[in-house]
Structure formats: C-alpha cells, structure tokens
A and B are shown apart, each in its own frame.
Chain A
C-alpha cells in the first residue's frame, strides 16, 4: 500500500495543472478579488443623511421625553431634525427622509422613498420605545433607582470592534479556501480512479498481487498531503503575502485549519464515491457545474449573493458561515460542528466507497472481448 501512496503523491505533485489550479490559482484569486473589490466594501447599504420631521400632539411627560430624544439625535449629529405641525405632515415628505408623529403615547412613522432610511428611522424609534418601556418598568418597581442613573450617553454606549478592521481580503481568503476545498479536494477525489482509466494503468494495478483494499486506501491516503498543502498554502499565502487575517488567536486559527481540512476530506470522499459510481465517464464533468452553482449561490464569490431558503442549506455556505463566526466573532461552536459532521461524512462515504470497490465487476468492453 505504501508504494501506491507514494505513487499517488508523486503523481499529484508533479502534475502542473493540479498544482496551479488547486494551490496557486485560489491564492491569486483571493488576492485579486480582495484587492479589486476592496473599494466596494464601504458598508452593506449606505444610509446617507437622515432628515427627520417630527410633530407632537399633546403635552406631558411623554411629549417632553420624545422631543428630548429627537433633539438629542440632532445634537449628536445623528439626524437633522425639524419640528413641524400636524397639518404639514402630508407635504413635508418630499423634503425629509421620514416624518414621525407622537400622539399621546402612540408614535407613527411616515415613511419616505428611501427604504434604507426608512429602516434606520424605524430602528431609532424602536430603540427609543424599548428604552422608554425599560424606564417605565423600572419606575413602576423602584422609582428611586432612576435618580441614580447617569443620563450621559457616553455612560452606556461604548463602541467596540474586534481589534482590527475586517477587509475584503479577509473575506476572500476564507472564501477562496472554501473554493479550494470543493474544487481541489472534490475534483482530486473524483479523478482518483478515472486517472488510472485514462492512463490505462487500472488493469495493471488490478492484475498485480495487491488487494483492491490496499489500492483504494493507498490512493486516498496518497491524496491527503495534497489536501493539507492546498488548504495550508492558500491560508499561508493569503496571510503572508496578501495581508489577509483569519482568526485572532492561534487556537482559533488551528480550529479553522482543522475545520477546513476535515471539510476537504468530506469533499474528497464525495469525489471518490462519485468516481467509483461513474467510472466510465469523467466525474468532474458532473461535479464542475454543480460546484460552480453551489459556490455561486452560497456567496463565496460575492457576499451579497444569498437566496433565502436555498443558500443556508448549501454545504459551502455552512462552512463559510462557520468560518466567519470563528474569524469575525470568535464563536467556535459552528466550526466544531462542521468539523465533526465533515469527519462523519468522510468516514461514511469512505466505507461506501470501500463496499463499491469490492462489489465491482469488470464489465465487457465489446470492442475488446
């Protein structure tokens, strides 16, 4: 079996197209996509300048509190606020992003034409409502505590990032690693036997005094170094040469690498099984369009590509989200889950492949009877 492993390793690493397309090409893609698309990474949606018209019907504590809230937003230069009368409400929307009316304790938002600004205004007013509800609840239970609350915003609003600014390069470093998991490992797995057929060496292997099991496992084990080098190279090159960031701590990076490797193994096993089932044709011809569609709709090539009800079920999306959970928010749960499930899938498919290998019978090639 060792001879088969070594032969597989030699064949893999001497194949120029394998090396280029499964190792260097994804690294270059991470660089080019990360660099070229950096400029569009301002925000997901631009809110722009918010001009809010507001009117208050009635008076009392609620009216005072609401007015104070709107004025404070204006003071903090979050919005430009202008007080209007109820009669002006229908005519001001052309000049304002939105209008807000307080009538008693009921707040009505009059939406403008910009959906993003409408959502922003609603979020601000919802925030006010929740805060007001919290104050009311506290006031009902223990009014004395209200006296001790500092009313400065700085006291409780603390902007905090994760220690660095995330860039498109970071996004594509992860995304291209996922591309290599599917294109590199899956296609390598799918070529494991078809290459032997293409080289006509399969009969020589089968006629040699070596078991099918040894050939099968030898070939799979021979692909593992390629899997390690593929993922390792993309991550290393993206980090060292293109300045991409993955996780903050070494432990998280190790978990991320492990998750990628295990996902690669699962993808490899899918490829191997397909190769065994469709041995008479090139399995990558089936895989290639499927993988492109899957990767495209899972947002690997662009983060805005997401179709609800489809994208979240795609394996590449699941791995992508698990990776971003880990790199962006230091949340390891999904990464661990993906790792475990990948190993389970790998083991199950390898067993199925083993059964398939031993159930194969040589079928006649009529021209060669």
Chain B
C-alpha cells in the first residue's frame, strides 16, 4: 500500500458464522473498497461451491486466496470475472454491480488463468495484441500497450517468438502479459507461477508487486505458501465454499495459536529425575507446557516471548548441558492445516 502506512482490519463475525472484513484506513476512515462480495452463493446442482461468502478487497491491495482443491476459489474468481453466474448475493467491482454493468466491469478486469492460455500459432506480440484488442484498444494505443506489457514481463526481445518455442517460464510470463496489456484495475491471477523455474517465479512475483505499485488491485491464488506470504497484504483461507479465516499473515497465525515450540538439545541420563524438571519448567512464566523427548526438552511458550534465560538457568542448575536451541514458530502452512485439516496439495 503506498498511501496507507498504518491500517487494521476490523473483523466481525456475521450471522451464520460468516466472517466479513472491512478495510479501515488510518484514522478510522474506510479505504476505497475496490471489490465487494456480499453473501455470495453458488450451486452446481446440489453441490454448494460458494456458501454465503462475503469479503472486500481494497484498492491497490494484493489479496491472497488460499484453499484446498474444490474449496471454491476458482468459482469465486469465475464469478468475479463474470465467467459464471451465481445464485445469491452481490459482487461489486469499483462500485459497479457485475451483473448490471457486466461489460464495464469486464473492461477493468484482467485475468491470468492457471493454464497457459495462448494461441500457439501467433507470436508473443500478436497474442498480447489480440487479447488487448478485445478490450477496445486499437492502433498506436494497442501497439504501445503490447510493447509495454511485453517489456513488463521481460519478453520484449521475444516479441516475434511463438509460444510453442518458448520455455515454460516464458509462456507463464506471456500469459501474464496477455492478462495485463489492457491495463486493468483489477487483476485476477490463478496460480500464475505453476511449473516455472525459480528465476521466472521471482520475476513474476516482482512484477505483481510492481502492478500493485502502479495502482492495480490483485487477487492472487497459489499453492506456494511462501509466495502468498511474500506478496499478499491479506490472505483469506477458503474451504467448502466458506471463509475459514482472513487477515494478515500474523493475524492468521495468532488466530490459530499464540504459542511456539522451543526445543533445547541436551544429554539426559537414564536416572535423571525428568518429572521434577518438567514440573519446574511448566511453572515458569510464559511456559505453557514442557516435555522431554529423548535428549530434547520441548517447551511450548508464548509466541511473543523472546527471553528464555530463566528456562535455561533451571536446566543448567540440574546439571544438564545446553547443546543447542531451536525455536519453531507457526507458519502459514501450519495455519492452513490447522484450519482446514488438509494440506494445500
């Protein structure tokens, strides 16, 4: 966020256990909501793909959408891009209802699908130009937009190359160029880094941040947690068509657990009074739980606690050497598993 240095997300539990977030800027003034989804419901026959979903995304925000397969991510994005309809609720993009102002909304949305969506017999430039032309760009404007998009993804020197001769990473970048050439205000990216090398991934992630700096709002899905942690301002975890959590990375972690594991490697003899040490350590402030696992003492401590000198002192007093200390905090993947009960892949 360029204009907002301090913000917080006011979280409220709506009826039927649905979570609704409103983006509040500095001084309590609401930032411009660029995308607003309210009570969205979508059925495929008897199957409820999206179940009363409500959320909003502010202007120039990178909003991460995480969820296991079949959670409803793609359906939600398809609804926003008006690729499919919905049964209940409303979706507004830039304060325009997507049903009422379908064409206007489509003009300001850019779509980067998960699959490589390119014409194999057209050159990179022709692909970009064709998709940009569908959004009404013509003549010089079209040429400059195509050139700019190719430069943006680092393919300006491959403008005449056909996709079938490109590497996987280059195709991915061209896929992005086709989705952003018409300078959309809202960009929906569905796993844009699948199957690309590390160098291309870095380039793509840097490009997404640049897009945000240029004023675009981005909705981003990925199976790579580190990507989501790296670029997203807020992250929503969706499962069974519902939001199970939404917020910044830290908010999500603290919503699941406020503790971390401290593992102290030592040497414990067979006749050592382990139970006494455990009860001593458990009684210390900031320590929630203690246990011994072979030659390791494992302490569950408050996540915010950084001073463990008291714990170490007690261990030393018992004559145990300190061979090593590791601290393991929860990451987004742990949060995801804790909330959904499944791994992302």
User: Are chains A and B native binding partners rather than an unrelated pairing?
Assistant: yes
The residues of A with any CB-CB pair to B shorter than 8 Å are 3-4, 7, 10-11, 14-15, 199-201, 203-210, 361-364, 366-369
With A199-B118, A200-B115 as known contacts, state yes or no: A364 contacts B134, CB within 8 Å: no
Are B109 and A207 within 8 A (Cβ)? yes
13 further interface pairs, Cβ-Cβ under 8 Å (given A4-B134, A369-B71): A10-B122, A14-B122, A15-B121, A200-B113, A201-B118, A203-B111, A207-B109, A208-B134, A209-B104, A361-B84, A366-B70, A367-B70, A369-B44
The answer to whether B75 touches A206 (Cβ under 8 A) is no
Stretch from B125-133, B196-204, B336-344 forming part of the interface with A: B125-133
Closest to B179 in A: A204
Contact of B49 among A15, A205, A364 (CB under 8 A): A364
Q: What residues of B have a CB within 8 angstroms of the CB of A361 in the complex? A: 84-85
Complexed CA–CA distance, A368 and B82 (Å): 16
Chain A minimum-CB-distance residue to B113:
A203
Asked if B106 is an interface residue, CB under 8 A from chain A, the answer is: yes
Return A178 CB to nearest CB of chain B, in Å.
28
B75 touches A364 (CB 8 A): yes
Q: Looking at the assembled complex, report how far the CB atom of A191 sits from the nearest CB atom of chain B, in whole angstroms.
A: 13
Across-interface contacts of A7 in B (CB, < 8 A): 119, 122, 130
Output the least CB separation between B159 and chain A (Å).
16
Option from A15, A201, A204, A369 in Cβ contact (under 8 Å) with B75: A369
* Chain B residues with CB under 8 A of A200: 113, 115-118
Q: Given A3-B130, A367-B69, are A209 and B103 also a contact pair (CB < 8 Å)?
A: yes
Chain B's closest residue to A364 (CB) is: B44
CB contacts (< 8 Å) of B54 on chain A: these are none
What are 11 A-B interface contacts by the 8 Å CB criterion?
A: A7-B130, A11-B122, A199-B118, A201-B117, A203-B117, A206-B83, A207-B109, A209-B134, A362-B83, A369-B69, A369-B73
For B113, B121, B178, which residue has the most chain A Cβ atoms within 10 angstroms? B121
Contacts of A366 in B (CB 8 A): 70
Question: Given A11-B119, A201-B118, A208 and B106 touching (CB < 8 A)?
Answer: yes
B77-97 vs A: 1/0 string, CB under 8 Å? 010011111000000000000
Task: Using known A-B contacts A362-B83, A368-B74, A369-B72, determine if residue A204 contacts B44 with beta carbons closer than 8 Å.
Answer: no
Q: A3 to B115, alpha carbons, bound, how many Å?
A: 23
Residues of A within 8 A of B126 (CB): 10
Docked Cα-Cα span, A142 to B317, in Å, equals 150
Nearest chain B CB to A144 CB, angstrom units: 82
A207 touches B82 (CB 8 A): yes
When chains A and B are docked, how far (Å) is the Cα of A210 from the Cα of B71? 30
Least distance between A12 CB and chain B CB atoms (Å): 9
Q: Which residues of B contact A210 (CB under 8 A)?
A: 134
The complex places the Cα of A210 from the Cα of B103 at a distance, in Å, of 8
Chain A residue nearest to B103 in the complex (CB): A209
- Name B residues whose Cβ lies closer than 8 Å to a Cβ of A: 44, 47, 49, 69-75, 78, 81-85, 103-104, 106-107, 109, 111, 113-122, 126, 130-131, 133-136, 178-179
CA distance A232 to B71 in the complex (A): 53
Known: A7-B119, A362-B78, A362-B83. A205 touches B134 (CB 8 A): yes
State the CA gap A199–B73 with chains docked (Å): 22
Minimum C-beta distance from A6 to chain B (A): 8
Bound state CA distance, A362 and B86, in angstroms?
11
Report the Cα distance A363→B103, complex, angstroms: 22
Determine the distance from Cα of A366 to Cα of B75 in the docked complex, in whole angstroms.
Answer: 10
Cross-chain contact B135 with A209 (CB below 8 angstroms): yes
Name A11's contact: one of B78, B115, B121, B131 (CB within 8 Å): B121
Contact present for A209 and B107 (CB under 8 Å): yes
Q: How far is the CA of A14 from the CA of B73 in the complex (A)?
A: 36
Q: How far is the CA of A204 from the CA of B188 in the complex (A)?
A: 12
Instruction: Tell me whether A204 and B47 are in contact in the complex, defined as CB-CB below 8 angstroms, given that A199-B120, A362-B78, A362-B83 are known contacts.
Output: no
Chain A neighbourhood of B115, CB < 8 A: 200
- Asked whether A204 lies within 8 Å of B106 as measured between CB atoms, the reply is no
Question: Is B72 touching A208 in the complex (CB atoms < 8 A)?
Answer: no
Which residues of the partner chain A approach B119 to less than 8 Å between Cβ atoms? 7, 11, 199, 201
A59 to B104, CA, bound (A): 102
For residue A264, give the distance in angstroms from its CB to the closest CB of chain B: 22
Complex Cα distance, B133 from A205, in Å, reads: 11
CA distance A7 to B113 in the complex (A): 20
- Nearest CB on A from B123, distance (A): 10
Residues in chain A near residue B74, CB distance under 8 A: 368-369
A368 to B83, CA, bound (A): 14
Which residue of chain B is the closest to A368 with respect to CB atoms?
B74
Is the pair A14, B121 in contact by a Cβ cutoff of 8 Å?
A: yes
Given A3-B134, A204-B178, A369-B70, A362-B84 contact (CB < 8 Å) = yes
Docked pose: A337 CA to B81 CA in angstroms? 48
Cα-based distance from A203 to B115 in the complex (angstroms): 10
Kindly name the residue among A7, A10, A362, A363 whose own CB sees the greatest number of chain B CB atoms within 10 A: A7
A225 → B minimal CB distance (Å): 15
Out of B84, B85, B131, name the residue touching A204 (CB < 8 Å).
B131
Could you tell me the distance between the alpha carbons of A204 and B83 in the complex, rounded to whole angstroms?
Answer: 9
- Bound Cα distance from A51 to B72, whole angstroms: 88
Nearest-neighbour CB distance to chain A for B174, whole angstroms, equals: 12
Contact B83 A207 (CB under 8 A): yes
Partner of B44, one of A14, A207, A363: A363
Closest 9 CB pairs of A and B: A208-B134, A200-B115, A14-B121, A209-B106, A200-B117, A364-B44, A362-B84, A3-B133, A207-B81
A3: B residues at CB distance < 8 A: 130, 133-134
Considering residues B109, B116, B133, B135, which has the most beta carbons from chain A within 10 angstroms of its beta carbon? B133
- Write out the residue numbers on chain B whose beta carbons fall within 8 Å of the beta carbon of A199: 117-120
Q: B121: shortest Cβ distance to chain A, in Å?
A: 4
Most chain A beta carbons < 10 A, residue from B73, B120, B134, B179: B134
For residue A16, which residue of chain B has the nearest CB?
Answer: B121
Cα separation A210 to B83 with both chains bound (whole Å):
12
Output the nearest chain B residue to A195 by Cβ-Cβ distance: B119
